[in-house]
């Protein structure tokens, strides 16, 4: 199955925020949306659902078919087959993260390795918890979890860690050894992990996704969040899956009144089911494109932006660029003002993100090249 690249006009007509946020002369390379036409199996399933009038209140979780579809996909793709009965449907991953924090976790500080997915920095205080950030060393050769500081945070009273696996914005697909070392630290302190694994289907060739809950002894202290929204580009349809790690956690979640976990959509469940059951050929085409765009960006950055450092991209379609060499206080702001290209400002990802930008590669190779051309224009004269 081949990808269909949409034109600028088609993307603006689509109406979502990526292409409507900024002026028409600005090239968007920021928020995590793809510039491709919807996968045909998902489109067909949605049209069928609308034709049937399937726009009422969502069915009970087990009646949607989504838990079974996720379990089958995860088992075939990653060797991790969660019990469908342990899957709780929710509106989106961050709604699930907040639900887990407030329902399953102690009222104690929460550890967040940074730079972090921006909503992580908001959900912790919204849930009434103190946040303990552990910044990545921006000069480190490889982005890794600082387990000594994680352990110190747990020793000081933290009881939950928010994990992005694969990591956004680091672009890491953590190895089994890395995750097992984290598991051992968590277990020693009786702590918990909430693992956002929304980017799991987007691990690039040569790397492997390891579900944290699949590790021996990890499931019991883990809540896993999954969704088809990133890998199949359907975030507006509102369907995510929370995998409870224990029967006690599942009972606590099922005992909540409906208002505590609402917002999922029947059309979102239709899309998720179609993605997990029939979306692999389209996903494979996406991964092929992303790998090509990754290699292209590596070459272009080396040629056109000497001194700018690109983190090795193992997963996601979001490249992390260290632009501190430009001397600019706000490289993303300069990119927009001088280059008319919209990228994410690294400072918004928390401590350790200053002087960096995040660039979206889920587009055509021509746009990737144009992004670099505009960044070169913006950063070539930092005075």
| Cα 106 off chain centre by | 25
d(CA 44, CA 26): 32
Tell me the two tokens of residue 206. Answer: 């040569």
Domains of the chain (ranges; CATH) run: 8-40+280-379 (3.90.1150.10), 56-278 (3.40.640.10)
User: How many helices (DSSP H) and strands (DSSP E) are in the chain?
Assistant: 14, 13
Q: Which residues pair with 110 in a beta bridge?
A: 131, 160
Residue 5 neighbours by CB under 8 Å, 6+ apart: 35, 36, 37, 363, 364
Cα dist. 7→10, 11, 185, 381 in Å?
Answer: 5, 6, 48, 31
Q: Dihedral sign for Cα 137, 141, 147, 148, please.
A: negative
The DSSP-derived string for 254-289 is HTS-GGGG----HHHHHHHHHHHHH-HHHHHHHHHH
Query: Which ranges constitute the DSSP H helices of the chain?
Result: 8-14, 17-20, 40-51, 61-64, 66-78, 93-104, 118-126, 147-155, 176-188, 247-254, 266-278, 280-304, 331-339, 365-379
Q: Dihedral sign for Cα 326, 355, 369, 29, please.
A: negative
CB 352 within 8 A of CB 114: yes
The residue assigned the tokens 């945070």 is 153
Cα dist. 374→33, 305, 327, 345 in Å?
Answer: 20, 11, 17, 16
pLDDT tens, residue order, the chain (383 aa):
789 999 999 999 999 999 999 999 999 999 999 999 999 999 999 999 999 999 999 999 999 999 999 999 999 999 999 999 999 999 999 999 999 999 999 999 999 999 999 999 999 999 999 999 999 999 998 999 999 999 999 999 999 999 999 999 999 999 999 999 999 999 999 999 999 999 999 999 999 999 999 999 999 999 999 999 999 999 999 999 999 999 999 999 999 999 999 889 999 999 999 999 999 999 999 999 999 999 999 999 999 999 999 999 999 999 999 999 999 999 999 999 999 999 999 999 999 999 999 999 999 999 999 999 999 999 985 44
The DSSP-derived string for 82-105 is --GGGEEEESSHHHHHHHHHHHHS
Say how many residues make up the chain: 383
């Amino acid at each position: 199955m081949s990808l269909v690249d949409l034109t600028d006009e088609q993307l603006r007509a689509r109406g979502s925020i990526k292409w409507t946020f900024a002026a028409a002369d600005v090239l968007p390379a920021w928020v995590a949306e793809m510039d491709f036409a919807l996968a045909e199996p998902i489109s067909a399933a949605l049209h069928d659902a609308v034709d049937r009038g399937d726009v009422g209140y969502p069915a009970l979780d087990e009646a949607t078919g989504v838990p079974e579809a996720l379990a089958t996909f995860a088992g075939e793709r990653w060797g991790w087959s969660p019990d469908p009965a342990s899957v709780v449907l929710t509106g989106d991953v961050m709604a699930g993260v907040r639900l887990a924090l407030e329902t399953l976790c102690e009222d104690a500080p929460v550890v967040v390795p940074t730079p972090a997915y921006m909503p992580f920095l908001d959900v912790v205080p919204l849930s009434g918890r103190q946040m303990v950030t552990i910044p990545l060393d921006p000069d480190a050769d490889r982005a890794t979890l600082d387990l000594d500081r994680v352990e110190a945070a747990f020793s000081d009273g933290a009881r939950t860690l928010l994990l992005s696996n694969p990591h956004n914005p680091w672009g890491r697909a953590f190895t089994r050894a890395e995750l097992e070392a984290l598991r051992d630290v968590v277990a020693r302190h009786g702590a918990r992990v909430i693992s956002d694994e929304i980017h799991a289907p987007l691990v690039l060739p040569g790397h492997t996704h390891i579900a944290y809950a699949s590790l021996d002894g990890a499931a019991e202290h883990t809540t896993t969040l999954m969704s088809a929204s990133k890998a199949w580009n359907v975030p507006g349809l509102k369907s995510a899956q929370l995998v409870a790690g224990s029967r006690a956690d599942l009972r606590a979640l099922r005992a909540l009144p409906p208002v505590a976990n609402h917002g999922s959509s029947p059309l979102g469940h239709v899309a998720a089911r179609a993605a997990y059951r029939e979306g692999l050929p389209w996903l494979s085409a996406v991964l092929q494109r992303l790998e090509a765009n990754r290699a292209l960006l590596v070459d272009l950055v080396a040629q056109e932006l000497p001194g700018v450092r690109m983190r090795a991209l193992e997963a996601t379609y979001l490249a992390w660029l260290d632009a501190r060499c430009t001397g600019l206080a706000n490289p993303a702001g300069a990119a927009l003002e001088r280059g008319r290209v919209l990228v994410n400002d690294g400072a918004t990802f928390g401590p350790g993100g200053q002087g960096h930008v995040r660039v979206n590669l889920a587009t055509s190779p021509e746009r990737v090249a144009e992004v670099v051309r505009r960044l070169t224009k913006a950063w070539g004269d930092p005075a």
